[in-house]
Structure 1
C-alpha cells in the first residue's frame, strides 16, 4: 500500500483546538477500547474550563480528567460517532454490563480513628510519607510529623486529595501545640510550592501564644491574607469552601462556623492561570492537611478527620 493511501483522511480524530466553546477542552491522547467488534470507544484526557465572565477557554482547576467517546469505523478509519472531531459532554454508556452507572459525587468523610491505612484518594508529595505520618502514634488521629517548609522541593509532610468538583467543602479538626514560629500545621488548597492558600496554625514568640493566619503563594510571591487570630485552646476545627472561582476559609469559634480571612481566587490554583504567567503547570489542584517544623523536625500535629463534601452548586 502506498504512503498516500495509508494517510488518515482527516487531520485529527479528536481535537478542540478550533472549538473554544466546547465544554471538554484540551482533548486528546486517546486510547482505543473494543467493547465488541461492533462497539468501539476511545478513552481520552480532557479538561473542563470554568465559564465565568464569558471566557471561552477558562481556567481548569480540576486539571486533566478522563473522558469517553463512542467511535465508528468508516472505510476502515476511526471517526467520532458524532461525525465531528470535537468530543461530546454526554455520551451513551458502553454495553459492558447491567446496572453500570457513572459516579458523579466523590464526597468522602475520613475518620482517622476507624482506618488502618489512608484512603486511595489521599496523596503525598513526591514520595511516600513513611515515618512522617502515623495512624497509631495517637489512637483516633492521623499524626503528621513536621518536616520541611511547604515551599520545599525536597521532603514535605503533606497529605492531600484532588479537587473532583468545582464546588466542595472540606472540614478537619486539628490538635497542635507549636512552641516556635518555625512550627506550623493546618489546612491547605495546594497546587505546588509556588501556588497555594494555607490556613496555618503557628506560634507567636512575642505573645507566647498559638495563632491562626492565612498564607497565600501565587506565582512564587508570598503574602499573608489575614490578621493573626489568637487561639485559646490547642484544638481547633478548620474548613474551606470552594465555589468555582472563589475560596473561603472558616474556623469554628463561639459554637458556630465563622468566615476567616477574605474570599480568595480559587481558580488561580490551576494549570491555566499558572501557564498564562509563564510557569510550568501540569497537575491540577489539591486540598489537604500538612505540618512543618523548620528547625528540629520534631513537632507533630494531630488530625481527627478529613471531611470532603462536594456540593455541586449551580
Structure 2
C-alpha cells in the first residue's frame, strides 16, 4: 500500500470522470474555453497520471467568443461492455448571461480511448452535466434540468431518460430529485449499479467552498430514490451543516474550512479496482496561503471509499471529510509530481501536447515548428476572445519557474512576442519583446491586464540587442518576479515584484459573493500582431520547473 497526496492531477483538471477498463484507468476533465477540448489522462496505478489525448479535436469545435467560464463542461466517460465502445457525454455551454445557461449536450464514442472519436451526436438542450449509463443493451442519460422560472427550486431537477445512442433520440424525461441534502445546487448526476440498487451520485452546494458529493439509491432506475441516511454529503471539504436550497451557485466563502489543506471537494466519480477497492475521483482546490484565492483552479483529487453493511457508500475512515493523503493499494511506484514539469525544445518537428489555446484551434497558419523553433505568428491582442496567438500550459504548482528564449523582428509598434501568465481575456501578465514607442529599437517591457484594465509598465523597459532574449518568470504563492538575459549573460531583474494573486478563480471578474471563474491559471508563450498579421516570434524552448 502506498500513500499519495492530493491532488493527483494538479492544475486545471476539474469535474473528473474516472473509468477503469481492464488494468487501465482514465480520467476525463473539463476544458472550458481552451482547445483541444476534453483532456483524457491515463494511469496504471491511480497514483501517477499523464495526459494521453483530447477527445474533441479542433475541427469539431468552435469556441470563439466564449465568455469565461463557458465552453466545454463536465465530460462523463463510460464504457459499454456489450459493444466494447468508450463513450463521452459532455455539454457545450454557449451562454451564461441572465443565468440562462444555454447548453447543448452531445455524446461521442470510440473503439479506443485514443480515438478516433465519432462525430458529436446531439442529445438535448434541457440543461448541463449529462452522463450515460449502459445496462443490458439499454442506455440512459442523466442531466440537470436547468430551472429559469421565478419561485421554483434552483438550479432545477435531476432528470433521467432512456436514450437511443444510434439516433440521439431521448425518451420521456423523469424528474428524479432536487437533491438529497439541504446544500442545494445539485448537478453532475451519475448512475451506478451496486448489488440490487441503482445509486445516483450528485455534486451539490455549488462549485465553491460548500461543494460536496451526495447520493441516493433506488430499486428502479427512475426512482423513487431514498437519500443517504446522514442527509449530508458523503464527501466534502467543509462538513458543517448548510441549508442553501434555492441558492443557484454562490461561492459560499463562509464554508471555507481553515483546518483543511484542500477545499471545494465535490463533483465525484466512482471507480472499482481489480482487487475490489473503491475510490472517488473528485475536484478540489488549494488556496494561496492566508487567502481564499485559488490560482490553480479546480484540480483532481482521490479518496478511498467503502460500502457499509447497509449498502451505503462512505469514506474509508467513516467520515465525510476529504483528505490530502490517501492510501492506494494498487500504486506500483511513488507519486512523481515532477511529471508535470515541462522542458520542450520542439524536437522532431513537434511540440508538447499539453499546449492548449484559448477560444480557438491551433493550426499551421499561426503555430508550427520551423528549424527547431516554435514559430508563433501574431494576430489578435490578448484581450480578444476570437483569435489570440497563445500557446498555454496549465500551471500545476504554487511555486515554479517559467522560462523561454525567443527571437523577434517587429516592424510596427503593435507587434509583440513573449512569455506570460494567463487566466482569460481580461486577466493576464505578458513580458514581451516590442518596439520602443519611437519605433527606433527593440525593447523588453511588461504589459498587464487586470479585470479588463490595460497596464503598460513603460518605465521599466530595457533595450534588447540582436533581437534575442531569454525571459524567466518566478512564481511563488501569487507573487511574481521577472528576469532576463542576453547572449549567455547574467540574469537581470525587470521591474518590481508583482502581486498576481488576482489571476485566480475568485480574483477575476465576477459578481460579489460569486466565483468569478473556475478554469485556472495558465503559463504561455505567444505573439500579437495588430498591424498586418505577418510578424512571428521564434521560440527556442519552453520550460516549466515546479518546486514542491
Q: Among 398, 409, 419, which residue is 1:166 paired with? A: 398
Asked whether 1:28 is paired with 2:266, we answer: yes
SS in 1 for 2:501: helix
The equivalent position to 1:79 in structure 2, one of 308, 314, 318, is 314
In the alignment, the residues of structure 2 paired with residue 276 and residue 260 of structure 1 have an alpha-carbon distance, to the nearest angstrom, of 31
How much does 1:165 deviate? 0.8
Distance apart, 1:280 and its partner CA: 3.5
Distance 2:352 2:432 in 1: 24
1:6 aligns with 2:6: no
1:307 and 2:543 equivalent? yes
TM-score (norm 2): 0.53
2:327 aligned counterpart, secondary structure = coil
Residue 195 of structure 1: aligned partner: 427
Instruction: Please show how residues 95-244 of structure 1 align to structure 2 within 5 Å.
Output: 95-96=329-330, 99-105=332-338, 106-112=340-346, 114-130=347-363, 131-136=365-370, 139-204=371-436, 206-225=438-457, 227=459, 228-244=461-477
Kindly indicate whether the alpha-carbon contact (under 8 Å) linking 1:40 and 1:72 is maintained by their aligned counterparts in 2: yes
Q: How far did residue 305 of structure 1 move?
A: 0.4
Contact 1:47 1:64 in 2 (8 A): yes
* Structure 2 match to 1:89: 324
User: Which sits farther off after the overlay, 276-285 or 231-240?
Assistant: 276-285
Q: Report if aligned partners of 1:236, 1:251 keep a CA contact under 8 Å in 2.
A: yes
Aligned CA distance change for structure 1 residues 301 and 4 (closer, same or farther; 3 Å): closer
**Cα deviations across residues 81-122 of structure 1 (Å, max 9, x unaligned)?**
1222110100101x336x23322122221112x132221221
Equivalents in 1 of 2:318, 2:457: separation in Å? Answer: 50
Q: Which has the higher contact order (CA 8 A, sep 6+)?
A: 1
Residue in 2 that maps onto 1:296: 532
Looking at structure 2, the residues matched to 219 and 102 of structure 1 have their Cα atoms a distance apart, in angstroms, of: 37
CA distance in 2, matches of 1:285, 1:160: 10
Q: How large is the Cα RMSD of the aligned pairs?
A: 2.1
Gaps of 5+ in 1: none
After superposition, the Cα gap between the structure-2 partners of 1:27 and 1:193, relative to the gap in structure 1 and judged at 3 Å, is same
